[in-house]
Every structure is written in C-alpha cells, then in structure tokens.
Amino acid sequence: MQEMILIIDFGSQYTQLIARRVRELNVYCEIHPWNNIPTLSSNIKGVVLSGSPFSTRDPQAPKPDLSAIKGKFPLLGVCFGAQYLAGSFGGEVLPSTIREYGRANLSYVDKAHELTKGMTDGSQVWMSHGDTIKTIPSHYKIIASTEDVAVAGYYVEGEQTYGIQFHPEVYHSLEGSILLKNFIVDICNCDQSWTPDSFVDSTVKDLQDKIGTDKVILGLSGGVDSSVAAVLLHKAIGANLHCIFVDNGLLRKDEFNSVLDSYKGMGLNVKGVDASEKFYAALKGLTDPELKRKAIGKVFIDVFDEESKLVTDAKWLGQGTIYPDVIESVSVNGGPSQTIKSHHNVGGLPDYMKLQVVEPLRLLFKDEVRRVGKSLDIAPAILGRHPFPGPGLGIRILGEVTAEKVRILQEVDSLFINGLKEDGLYDQVWQAGAIFLPVQSVGVMGDERTYENAVALRAVSSTDGMTADWCHLPYEFLAKISNRIINQVKGINRVTYDISSKPPATIEWE
C-alpha cells in the first residue's frame, strides 16, 4: 500500500496548504475530517492535526478521540491541534492577552531537537490564533517560543508527539519547510517515493481493477485536467474510453474546432457535440450565479446522458475533477470546511443517469496534474494552457447570458489572450480572462456620445488555485489591449483591470 500522512481537518483555511507542503516532499497524504477519521492502517506513517476557526474552549469545538493515534503514530498538532493536545491532557489554554495574527518571530528555538533542527532564532513564522497555551503538562517540553507566546512549540516525553502554535505550511513561515521535512521525512520515516511516475503506475492499476472491461465516457474540454484524465484512462482501458467534447456555446473564440484538432494524433476516440442552443435555452432569464452554474451543470449531464445511450454498454462517466474543485464545492469528505461555490462536475449524478463516476485526478492539485501530464508525455501546448472554468463564459458574463454577449466577450477575450502570447506574458500568468459587466457607461468616439458596455480584464498568478495574486501586467500592455478592445469590439467603450487577490476575491467573478 502507498505510504501516506493522514491530515485530520478541523476546518482551518490552511488545511489544504498542509497537504500541498507534504506532497512537495514527494509524500502522499489525505485530508479527512475530525469526525470521520478513517480506519488506521500500517501504511499511515504519521498524523497531522490542523488548525481550526474554533477555540478549544468552545463547547461546540471538535473533540476527536485520539486514543488510537496519540503515542502510537508520530503526531504533529498545528495551532488548534497543538492547543487541543495540550489542553486535553493536563495543560491549560486561555484567551490570549496579546493576540497573534500574521508575522511573528521565534525568540527561542531548540536547534538540537529532532523537530526543530536546522531552524534559527529569530526565524519568521505565521500566527493565527486568539488563544494561547498558558501551561503544558509536566511531561511536555518547550522547544520554541516567541516574545509574546512562551509555548510556540513543544514535544511530549516518551512519545513522537509534537505541537506548534504557528503555521509551518504558510510561506510566511520562512523555515516552515524545514520543520515539516524534519517531521515527515526524519520522524515519520517517509521514503519520498510518491512521484508523478509512481502516481501514473498506481492510478492506471487502480483504474484497471475498478473498471475492468467496462466502457467509459469522458467529457473533454481541451484543458489540462480533462486531457490528463483522458490519457490516464486511455492508458488503463484503451479503446473502451469514449471521449466527448461538448460545445456549450460558452467556449472561447474558435475553441471548439481547435480543441478537436489538438487531440488528433493522441490516439483518443473523440466525438464533438454542438449543444450550444440547449445551454442558451437553459440560461435564458437567469441572473443568479449559482442558478446559472446549476443550469449549465444540468444540461451538461443531460447531454452526456443522451450521448451515453449511443455508446453500447457504457457504465462510467470520467471527469477531470481536481482537489480544489472538491474543496470549494463541498466540505472535504463531509468535513467542516466552508463551501465556497458549486462546481459543475462535483457532487455526483442524478438518479436517472445510469453511469458511475470515475475521477482519476480527484486528489491532485493543478500543478500536480501538470507534472503527471508531463510524465505521460502530453504536449506542452496542452499542459501549458491556462485553466478555464467548466461553465465557461457563462460565469464571466454577469447577469443574463445571451448569444450576443457571448459573441462580444469572445472577441474581447481573444484580443486579451492573444495579446498576452504576443508580448511573451502568457506563461507568466496562471489564469486570465475577460468579464462582461452588467453596466453601461458614457463614452466618446469621434464626436459622438456613446453609451455602451464595460468589461473587466482579470489575470492572476497562482500555484494551485486555492490562493491567487493579481498580476502586475505592464501599463503599456494594458493600454495597448484596452485600445484594441475598444476599437475592434463593437459594443464596448470601457475596459477595466481587476486588481483583487484571492482571498478575499475569487478568481472568477461568479
């Protein structure tokens, strides 16, 4: 069995970052909620307790039974996890007299201890807590402090149990990666063998065992996720994979034909289906973002239901769902994380659709998907494509979606994306697109007054889509693209640039 680190989630906004840092060490990990801890097995090499929005003093706070874990597996408590391990076994957790949020510095660190070796006094760490560990049990020993928090880190004598008040998974904890490597590699003895090649091998075997000789229908979009999912499935089941690319009328300009062409020579069996009128009809009159997403998702499923009936004995629907989709749509494995927005390919299928779902990338982040794709020798042109939302331009048109708005936005988007490529900026941006705003503004063209539409341009840098910063594109580039859009796209007289980061904003506007 694949060795793994178990991460127990108490609802922290940083839990997914813990998983990313573990995987960056080539160690597999899974996140499970505190109230649904899986059966512990020999392949679990260690356990991490996450932070939480709760106070350990809150009557409603998570109170997991750790009797099968503490003292039996290497255990690291982070923030809330550290407070829970201290307060539940004889220590005292109280409201902080000085709350610590953001950057802090370690005034003391035990450089000889197995958890903190290699770290330095004065190292910057990231704090996010309103409580503090006032006292610790007698057999708990301090290994890190800040000027304001005496118990910033501790270990338990006679056990491989540790607690830290700061968040090593956040980049602002400058030596956090050292601490995590000490725990994951040296204390948990993980062999760091989880690589893209090993993922491909194990996933292909799992798919073969799961699917057997059944037929699978997969929706292709031309993006990284569905492409990698398709090649993985094709490697596992060959000709039993039937790929379908649906034109929902919400794609980028000329994308339907270019995507179909891009799969030529890859050995995939791909069928193109133009269902744009069905999507437009379903979106007519809808303005609420969630209703639009659900309408797009329903038609998406309906089209696949129709197409699946044309493939004799098809039993599975393949999807390119990835970890951020799951995390943002539903609580991880039924856990306490906050739902942000629904995704069209997450949440299961309606009862009338007699297909089971297979999602080979469900536990991967976007950058991990790309590395797996490279291992599969997928063309760089496909792997390097910016992410594009499943609902397409439907969630980049604020308000009701119409064919005319789609046409206008396709032209704007094309000028923006092609401009990024022309100026060598495309690969410096993680995701970019244009948003059709539900406002009109006064302008002047020639000697005439205009009252036309406004658009916003959006470009962000990110690693996995969970967080993102707006890109500082050159003013000269933005000026050039704005001029092109206003001059070449009839119906637009104003262009804005979105300088919001995620959080607090999301990457898409809807």
How far CA 153 is from CA of 116, 286, 388, 444, in Å, comes to: 9, 52, 42, 63
Take residue 434 and report the two structure tokens written for it: 């244009």
Selecting among 29, 79, 188, 471, the annotated active-site residue is 79
255 counts as catalytic: no
Where b means 16+ CB within 10 Å and e means fewer, 69-103 reads: bbeebbbbbbbbbbbbbbbeeebebeebeeebeee
Residue 407 confidence (pLDDT)? 96
Residue 499 confidence (pLDDT)? 96
Selecting among 3, 100, 169, 411, the annotated active-site residue is 169
Backbone conformation region of residue 348, classed left if phi is above 0, alpha if psi is from -120 to 50, else beta: left
* Residue ranges for the chain with pLDDT beneath 50: 330-348
Residue 192 confidence (pLDDT)? 94
Take residue 358 and report the two structure tokens written for it: 């297979």
Selecting among 167, 242, 343, 344, the annotated active-site residue is 167
Residue 405 confidence (pLDDT)? 97
DSSP letter for 186, please. I
Distance, CA of 106 to CA of 261 (rounded, Å)? 56
Distance, CA of 502 to CA of 325 (rounded, Å)? 15
DSSP letter for 373, please. H
Distance, CA of 34 to CA of 11 (rounded, Å)? 9
Distance, CA of 183 to CA of 113 (rounded, Å)? 11
167 counts as catalytic: yes
343 counts as catalytic: no
CB-CB neighbours of 186 under 10 Å:
13
Secondary structure (DSSP) of 257-299: HHHHHHTTTTT--EEEEE-HHHHHHHHTT---HHHHHHHHHHH
How far CA 362 is from CA of 101, 136, 291, 386, in Å, comes to: 33, 40, 24, 19
